[in-house]
Structure 1
């Protein structure tokens, strides 16, 4: 019996390169998905591979994608084609003494499955809420909700988180033993996504206060 706390692994999702960095733990996978903002969605149609960057949202064990109801991309995905869904968080550059051992510290997730069209208006609204909260927590309560015309013009796809894994690299470079004596700087250069100062819309009324979720915006661990 499979462990409900871990994703399933098949031949296509088994980690082969540096498997010690991999994990199927849902808790880790969800934490990476929740911190990231952009996913790359890969699929094949008409014998042509495509990888499209997309915003997304997560609720429980499901991811949601959305777009125009006439989008060729979404219409292709809703047909049940195989999808590879990936996100990556870059945490730093790993600077080694040798060029061969230069690397990066990162947290990534690769998922496999099929997407399904969300039909119910209630489920559609819940998915759009997840998408909004992924981008800016608390925004769903602050802004005007989608009206019926906007809902009709928007398609939402659901992607079940069932198969895949996370992969993580942390720490210093792994130089060859003989290279540690070289007079060359080595170590890590941490990187992170930081928010700048919010810029108000030119048509914004001056008496509207900047929301706290923008004042203290951040996506760190």
Structure 2
């Protein structure tokens, strides 16, 4: 059952509502666990969905890009829908119709707002970089004002959002339980491979990225 009431009609879950969550803690944790979100929007009479990197600051999801970006221009003018998902395991049942996946997903609705204050932009970009590799920002060549001016920063509140989670084993029909085939969950995990340095890079051990 949903942990809290849906904040709006379009975030109410109609299919498998027992997997739904609308509390901020669950939604924020899934946003933090994903490196990529997909942003859907309308532009010139057509619907588009573009994947992009994101990060979270308190109650907002942030994205960034070039000022000339079609995506960012469109998001400043109309509504958007953002989706995020992580697959945590393959659920193999005794029947093809009961195979499933363990997953965490979020859908967010609303309008983006642009952040124009230079210090806010600089601070947010630092949080983005350090959220991937802690402490890396302070080791980098400082951003030039020209680069900052050419970058657009948008954010959307997590006020109108819903999460959907499956995190359990096989649910076969009782009459199938004696069928002689393996059933269970195969976990899916993310791991980092060995760092591959550029030939002209400074010889040093890179910081450990954040495993999401």
TM-score, normalising length from structure 1?
0.90
CA distance in structure 2 between the aligned counterparts of 1:37 and 1:45, rounded to whole angstroms = 25
CA distance in 1, matches of 2:22, 2:105: 12
- Do the aligned partners of residues 46 and 7 (structure 1) sit closer, same or farther apart at CA in structure 2, a change above 3 Å counting? farther
Is 1:106 the equivalent of 2:106? Answer: no
> Quick check: 1:203 aligned with 2:200?
yes
Structure 1 pair 30–167 and aligned structure 2 pair: CA distance change class (3 A):
same
Q: What's the counterpart of residue 10 of structure 2?
A: 12
**Match for residue 97 of structure 1?**
94
In the alignment, the residues of structure 1 paired with residue 55 and residue 147 of structure 2 have an alpha-carbon distance, to the nearest angstrom, of 18
Q: Could you tell me which residue of structure 2 aligns to residue 213 of structure 1?
A: 208
Residue by residue over 1:161-213, the C-alpha shift from the partner in whole angstroms, topping out at 9 and shown as x without a partner, is: 1111111101111111100010011101100111111111111133xx21332
Q: Aligned residue for 1:76?
A: 74
Q: How far 1:160 moved relative to its partner?
A: 1.1
Conserved in 1, the CA contact under 8 Å of 2:40 and 2:81?
yes
Aligned to 1:40: 38
Gaps of 5+ in 1: none
1:98 Cα offset (Å): 0.4
Structure 1 CA distance for aligned equivalents of residues 38 and 90 of structure 2: 22
Judge conservation of contact 1:92–1:188 (CA < 8 Å) in 2.
Answer: yes
**Among 164, 177, 183, which residue is 1:180 paired with?**
177
CA distance in 2, matches of 1:179, 1:128: 53
Q: Is the 8 A contact 1:37 1:134 kept in 2?
A: no
Q: Is the 1:36–1:89 contact (alpha carbons within 8 Å) kept by the matching residues of 2?
A: yes
* 8 Å Cα contact 2:41/2:74 also seen in 1: no
Q: State the secondary structure of the residue aligned to 1:73.
A: helix
Asked whether 1:166 is paired with 2:159, we answer no
Q: Please show how residues 116-195 of structure 1 align to structure 2 within 5 Å.
A: 116-195=113-192
**Which ranges in structure 2 are unaligned for 5 or more consecutive residues?**
none
Structural RMSD (CA): 1.7
